[in-house]
């Protein structure tokens, strides 16, 4: 049986209605899983028209600055977040809580995501989620400045997600953490990154970054948190996080958060706390009839990173990628789906080594990391659209888009001799 999400009112606020049938037993629920996500975007800032029919677990966007890479990734992250909220609402509805706790218009969502200035009258975004064994997808659509939904989220396919968006401004994080008094306002992605970073520090306290030969540590003192960086053996130096190199300041937030999400994040506990808080706030505790044990829900972590290469030497860029992939794919860890934007030819070329490591079952040169060609996507964002860089026949990523500049320099050098 499906939970139904109703249409929207004039200002784009998502509304809700009761499911046509309340499930009374977990045995009534037919389990299903998400098999793919699809997104179509038109006229969003520099993006004229983009369609991705299957958003892969590891997706990379490359392209010129201001070409639309971040706009694409922010739009995908936003609609994943909307889908997360609608999953939560479907669970509540099927558990006899028919009053919606969510009343926030799409204008605010776009503002929080840093996309409001990109939206025009003819902007449209359609995000579709396909479920195994279900003929029609569940669709969230933004068009004519209104948000709408179509189809159903199957109750047996309800999932709970954690979304993280690591911005290119993360290098400011050490200074923000050290600041006293009122903090300046940032877009929601940055604010949530700060909150997650503080939770990660309280949980993990230390992070070794072997490819930079440093250890990051966080210590709670009577005067607040102290964030320090030292070399791995601790004998040579120990400095404040704000005095570390730009590469360290940009890398630590990525790795600390990925480590925290993979090893420590309790998605079931987070979902249960959100349920209890919401139902209590609505005054509906006596009416609440959970449809299933939340342990059985599908869990998904989405990790979006802008320009992971910032401040890093080429070898370190590849080492960072290796570390992230290992963190996100361990059997005893929470799996992570990665999406990133980059200008780096080294990252793009390293993807081919990771694919080869998977195909040959040899990770000698990738520190245990590997990528399945069928679970990766790489796109060149150009002229308002995207070019697929995967070459299926050769099981390679076409790296020419970021190699042409090097060839031009070499050719000009030859012309001058």
Residues 6+ apart with CB under 8 A from 68: 44, 45, 46, 47, 50, 381, 384
Pairing verdict, β 152-154 and 58-63: unpaired
Backbone phi and psi for residue 355, each to the nearest 5 degrees, phi listed first: -65, -45
Query: Above pLDDT 90, what percent of the chain?
Result: 69
CA distance 12 to 144: 10
Backbone phi and psi for residue 378, each to the nearest 5 degrees, phi listed first: -135, 130
Pairing verdict, β 336-342 and 298-306: parallel
Q: How confident is the model at residue 182, as a pLDDT?
A: 61
- Span 31-43, mean pLDDT? 96
Q: Where are the domains of the chain?
A: 2-167+266-415, 171-257
Q: What is the pTM of this model?
A: 0.91
CA distance 52 to 163: 19
List pLDDT tens digits, range 89-117.
999 988 888 877 776 678 989 999 999 99
Superfamily grouping for domain 2-167+266-415: P-loop containing nucleotide triphosphate hydrolases (3.40.50.300)
Number of H helices, E strands in the chain: 9, 19
Q: How confident is the model at residue 29, as a pLDDT?
A: 67
List pLDDT tens digits, range 345-366.
999 999 999 999 999 999 999 9
List pLDDT tens digits, range 247-280.
999 999 999 999 999 999 999 999 999 888 989 8
Q: What is the mean pLDDT of the chain?
A: 89
**pLDDT-based confidence at 406, cuts 50/70/90?**
confident
């Amino acid at each position: 049986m499906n939970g139904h999400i109703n249409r929207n009112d004039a200002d784009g606020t998502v509304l809700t209605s009761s499911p046509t049938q309340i499930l009374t037993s977990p045995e009534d629920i037919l389990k299903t899983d998400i098999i793919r996500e699809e997104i179509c975007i038109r006229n969003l800032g520099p993006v004229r028209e983009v369609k991705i029919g299957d958003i892969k677990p590891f997706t990379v966007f490359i392209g010129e600055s201001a070409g639309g890479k971040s706009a694409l990734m922010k739009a995908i992250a936003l609609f994943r977040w909307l889908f997360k909220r609608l999953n939560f609402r479907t669970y509540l509805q099927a558990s006899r809580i028919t009053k919606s706790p969510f009343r926030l218009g799409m204008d605010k969502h776009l503002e929080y995501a840093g996309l409001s200035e990109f939206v025009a009258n003819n902007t449209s975004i359609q995000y579709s989620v396909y479920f195994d064994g279900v003929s029609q997808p569940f669709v969230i659509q933004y068009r004519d400045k209104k948000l709408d939904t179509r189809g159903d989220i199957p109750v047996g396919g309800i999932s709970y997600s954690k979304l993280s968006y690591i911005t290119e401004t993360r290098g400011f994080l050490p200074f923000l953490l050290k600041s006293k008094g009122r903090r300046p306002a940032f877009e929601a992605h940055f604010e949530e990154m700060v909150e997650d970073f503080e939770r990660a520090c309280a949980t993990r306290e230390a992070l070794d970054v072997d490819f930079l030969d440093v250890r990051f540590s966080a210590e709670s003192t009577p005067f607040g948190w102290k964030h320090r960086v030292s070399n791995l053996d601790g004998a040579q130096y120990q400095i404040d996080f704000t005095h570390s190199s730009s590469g360290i300041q940009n890398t630590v937030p990525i790795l600390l958060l990925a480590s925290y999400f993979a090893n420590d994040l309790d998605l079931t506990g987070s979902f249960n706390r959100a349920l209890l808080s919401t139902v209590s706030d609505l005054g509906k505790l006596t009416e609440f009839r959970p449809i299933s044990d939340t342990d059985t829900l599908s869990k998904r972590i989405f990790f979006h990173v802008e320009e992971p290469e910032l401040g890093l030497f080429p070898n370190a860029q590849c080492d960072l990628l290796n570390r992230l992939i290992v963190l996100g794919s361990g059997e005893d860890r929470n799996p992570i789906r990665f999406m990133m934007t980059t200008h780096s030819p080294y990252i793009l070329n390293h993807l081919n080594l990771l694919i080869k490591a998977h195909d040959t079952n040899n990770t000698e040169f990738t520190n245990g990391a590997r990528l399945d060609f069928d679970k990766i996507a790489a796109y060149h964002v150009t002229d308002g659209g995207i070019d697929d860089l995967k070459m299926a026949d050769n099981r390679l990523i076409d790296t020419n888009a970021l190699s042409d500049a090097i060839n031009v320099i070499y050719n000009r050098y030859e012309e001058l001799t």
